């Protein structure tokens, strides 16, 4: 398993943030920053279940962006109901579950149990609730707020 300060995305102490916003109050010089990780999974893309692992990998990274950001968000978009409401995932990849109404409990180890795992086990520091929203275009969105650790 990766060290808590190591980013799963890069397996190092450095990571590329998809979007980073920094705001400064011009009078008080108080600064705040936000890190945002983005995912878009199309039904025609057959990277599943690796895509599910990658969502938790981004949550792990967001938790470790404390030196860069005060807050973080993961935004996932998809046109594939598999990520939202599939009845059951395989025993080998069932840990990586962010279907609608599911949750993650802090400290739970998530393991990819295949002969060639997509990545090392992941353990998150926060508790997370996964609630999807559908928009008129037929796309579904998941927005997860993450508090980075300092």
| Greatest Cα-to-Cα distance within the chain, rounded to the nearest angstrom | 57
The per-residue pLDDT for 14 is: 67
Residues 6+ apart with CB under 8 A from 148: 35, 62, 63, 64, 65, 66, 68, 69, 70, 71, 72
Query: Residue 15 above 90 pLDDT?
Result: no
The whole-model pTM stands at: 0.88
Please answer whether residues 76 and 141 qualify as being in contact, where contact means their C-beta atoms are separated by less than 8 angstroms. Answer: yes
Q: Which residue has the higher pLDDT, 7 or 104?
A: 104
User: What is the rounded CA–CA span in Å between residue 71 and residue 148?
Assistant: 6
* In the block, residue with structure tokens 């997860």: 144
In the structure, what pLDDT confidence band is assigned to residue 149 with cuts at 50, 70 and 90?
Answer: confident
Query: Residue 48 above 90 pLDDT?
Result: no
User: What is the rounded CA–CA span in Å between residue 150 and residue 148?
Assistant: 6
């Amino acid at each position: 398993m990766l060290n808590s300060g190591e980013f799963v995305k890069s397996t190092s102490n450095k990571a590329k943030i998809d979007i980073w916003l920094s705001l400064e109050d011009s009078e008080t010089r108080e600064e705040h920053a936000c890190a945002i990780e983005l995912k878009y999974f199309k039904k025609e893309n057959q990277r599943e279940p690796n895509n599910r692992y990658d969502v938790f990998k981004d949550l792990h990274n967001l938790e470790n962006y404390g030196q860069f950001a005060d807050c973080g968000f993961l935004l996932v978009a998809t046109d594939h109901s598999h990520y939202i409401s599939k009845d059951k995932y395989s025993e080998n990849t069932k840990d990586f579950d962010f279907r609608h109404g599911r949750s993650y409990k802090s400290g739970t180890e998530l393991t990819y149990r295949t002969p060639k795992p997509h990545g090392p086990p992941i353990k998150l520091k926060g508790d997370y609730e996964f609630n999807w929203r559908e928009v008129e275009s037929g796309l579904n969105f998941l927005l997860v707020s993450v508090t980075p650790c300092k």
